[in-house]
Structures are given as C-alpha cells and as structure tokens.
Amino acid sequence: MQDAIQSFDIRDWKPNLTAAETEKVALNLEQGAVIHLPTLGFSMTNDEQKFYSPSWLNGQRKNISLEGLNVRGATGSINDLTQMASMITRYAHQATQLIITLFPNYALYLNTARTSYRPNMVGAVAARSWKKDDSRLHVDAFPSRPNHGERILRVFTNVNPENVSRVWRVGEAFEQAAQHFLPNIKPPVPFSASLLSAIGITKRKRSEYDHIMLHLHDHMKADLDYQKNTQQQAVNFAPGSTWICFSDQVLHAAMSGQYMFEQTFHLPIAGQYHSEFSPLHVLEKLQKRQLVKR
Ligand SMILES: [Fe+2]
C-alpha cells in the first residue's frame, strides 16, 4: 500500500498547479490517502479570536455548524452569531476554492454540505454509544443518510492557538478492511430498506451499498481486537495545517485536539478521476455484483 499520508507544500487556498501535479494529488486522494497540507492554515481575525472557547457551544450539539445562512449549535448575541457565521462562511469558501482548484474535474459535480467549527476538545463529551465513538477506527457511513455510493469528501484545518495538534489514527487500506469484515456482514432483511424509508428513519431508500457500509462502520468499531491490532499509524496534524480525505474510504479515528474547521462535500462517482478506487466499485468487485441500481 502507498503511504496513507501524502504531504504537499501548498500555501494558498487557490494554488497554482500544473495538470500533472493536479493528477498526482487526485490519484493519491482517490487511492485512499490523506492529503496533508502542512503549510496551509486558516486565519482568524483579531475580532474572531474570542471564538477560541467551547463556551460558544449551546450544549445541544457536538459542533457548531453552518446550514445555509444559519449557525447551529452555538449560543451568543445576534451580533456574535452573525460574526461567527461570516467566519465559518469564509472557511467554506476557501475550502471550496481549494477543492475545485486541486481537482478541477470535481467542480461540475461537487455538492457542498455542512461546514463546521469545532471548539470542543476531542472526547470532551463522552460518546453516547460505541457506534458514535469516533476514537475508534471507522469509515464514515450514516444510518439516516443513504448515499448510494456517492463520495464523502472532507477538508479539515487545525486552528489551535496553543500549538496543540489534532491527532488521528489512520488504518489499513479500504479494500483490505472490506475483505476482513465482508464475510461477517449478512445481506439486508428483505423489504427492510423500503420500510425504513417509508417510516422516515432514512431520508431515501437504503441501497445494498449503504447496508454494507453501515455494517462495515459498526463491525469495525465493535471489534476491539481489530482496533488494537490492525495495521495503523498515528498522525499529528499541527496547527496551521489542512488535510483532505474521502472519509468513506480512509479508516480514521479522532484521538485528541481542539479547535478545528471542517467542510464536507458530496461527490458523485462520475466526478472522480479514478472511480475504480471508490468504495462502491471496490465492494462490487469483491461481492461480484452490483450494489446500487443504475
Ligand atoms: Fe469519521
């Protein structure tokens, strides 16, 4: 396997890259690496320094996020919340600019999802269950949001003011993990996908792909022996650095850190440079059948 972390010296949110450089970064990303940009930081203005405190969280959500023009999960005066929204929007714009500059092919397909500001220390709030414990290695898959193979692309930036790194563990390649867990994943119960969708538990019908991804997520988190003994590495993302990965593909666990921005995108496989590395195509190759309707 290639090194799971690939670093590039990119100092601008709108970098100037040749087509060959772009293709190299895209190949690494799509093969399942974390693209680490150690010299790309996000600047908070003097006025925004006051947001360095978890006390801005309203206690109802783990993070502060921007949905449309509204800030969710934060508490403060209208002025403060407006200022916070503008800070998070600025991050969203820069992250979007970075992605479409680094990966021009994505531009036509990219859907911008949630942007979050995470002032809490990792682990400050105990996970409500082992399934929600993100300090265990996992791939992202969400029970209520079937995506039929669409990719989950995320940009993260550590803005810690006290030189505290964000520490992750990164596991083995997706295909190896899938081979490890697939034999124990049972097929969906007939009609369960229609039922979950009809009663509103899922936002759309769960495909077989979604079923497998959710079980991969759960089986991986539940297997403490795997968590401890599988091939893995700890990675320190220093303040002033940014990293990008497909979080539905990279086995990741958030171990420690505080103060981070994150931007999520959804990308249809059609927008990829090398869709053969996508979890959908890897799982279909291993299962020898289609897992979503086409
Ligand atoms: Fe995750």
- For 223-286, the DSSP string reads -HHHHHHSS-EEEEE-TT-EEEEETTTS-EEEEE-EEEEEEEEEE-GGG-S-GGGSHHHHHHHH
Tell me what pLDDT residue 191 has: 76
Dist. CA 11 → ligand 1 center (Å): 26
Q: Helix 78-102 and helix 19-31: axis angle, to 10°?
A: 110
CATH class of the domain comprising 5-287: mainly beta
Dist. CA 206 → ligand 1 center (Å): 20
Dist. CA 266 → ligand 1 center (Å): 14
Dist. CA 19 → ligand 1 center (Å): 30
Digit-coded pLDDT (tens) for 101-144: 999 999 999 999 999 999 999 988 888 899 999 999 999 999 99
Is the CA virtual torsion 112, 114, 116, 122 positive or negative? negative
Tell which wins on pLDDT, 107 or 188: 107
Dist. CA 18 → ligand 1 center (Å): 31
Torsion of CA 289, 278, 111, 218, to 10 degrees: 80
- 201 three-state secondary structure: coil
pLDDT band at 232 (very low <50, low <70, confident <90, very high): very high
Q: Where do we find the tokens 């053969």? A: 276
The per-residue pLDDT of the chain, averaged, comes to 95
Q: How far apart are CA 240 and CA 114, in angstroms?
A: 21
Tell me what pLDDT residue 2 has: 66
Dist. CA 97 → ligand 1 center (Å): 23
Q: How many Å separate Cα 128 from the centre of its chain? A: 20
Q: What residue spans define the domains of the chain? A: 5-287
Both tokens of residue 182? 């697939």
Listed in sequence order, the residues at least 6 apart from 17 whose beta carbon sits closer than 8 Å to its beta carbon are: 10, 25, 101, 102
**Mean of pLDDT values over 187-205:** 79
Q: Which residues pair with 262 in a beta bridge?
A: 116, 156
Dist. CA 139 → ligand 1 center (Å): 6
Dist. CA 86 → ligand 1 center (Å): 25
Dist. CA 20 → ligand 1 center (Å): 30
**Mean of pLDDT values over 272-292:** 97
Dist. CA 137 → ligand 1 center (Å): 8
Dist. CA 31 → ligand 1 center (Å): 18
Dist. CA 138 → ligand 1 center (Å): 6
Dist. CA 136 → ligand 1 center (Å): 9
Tell me what pLDDT residue 200 has: 79
pLDDT band at 28 (very low <50, low <70, confident <90, very high): very high
pLDDT band at 197 (very low <50, low <70, confident <90, very high): confident
**For residue 20, is pLDDT > 70?**
yes
